[in-house]
């Protein structure tokens, strides 16, 4: 089993500080909710200035959302975010 979560901010929309904070809280909440679908590894990817930034590790979502790299990715306010939690039903657990 696995879980997917994410968000898209419409092109050209500039979020206020309050909206960015709410978006970050929602993404963290979604990541934690998807932890029930997979506890072996978690990752999130975002598009920032047409560059793909990926943060992933063989840890639970609860642990990943506390990581500096995860927080920095959310703080950069990417227009597209896609996250994944994994339960290793086939293959090894690894970063």
DSSP assignment of 10-64 equals PTT----HHHHHHHHHHHHHHHHHHGGG--SEEEEEEEETTEEEEEEESS-HHHH
Secondary structure element (H or E) that encloses residue 69, with its range: helix 68-75
**What whole-number percentage of the chain has pLDDT above 70?**
100
- 31 pLDDT exceeds 90? yes
Residue 42 confidence (pLDDT): 95
Residue pLDDT, tens place only, 43-78: 999 998 889 999 999 999 999 999 999 999 999 999
């Amino acid at each position: 089993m696995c879980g997917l979560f994410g968000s898209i901010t419409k092109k050209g929309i500039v979020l206020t500080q309050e909206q960015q904070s709410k978006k970050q809280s929602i993404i963290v909440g979604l990541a934690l909710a998807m932890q029930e679908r997979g506890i072996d590894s978690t990752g999130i990817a975002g598009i920032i200035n047409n560059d793909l930034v990926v943060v992933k590790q063989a840890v639970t979502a609860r642990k990943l959302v506390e990581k500096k790299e995860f927080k920095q990715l959310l703080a950069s306010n990417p227009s597209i975010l896609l996250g994944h939690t994994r339960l290793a039903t086939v293959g090894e657990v690894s970063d």
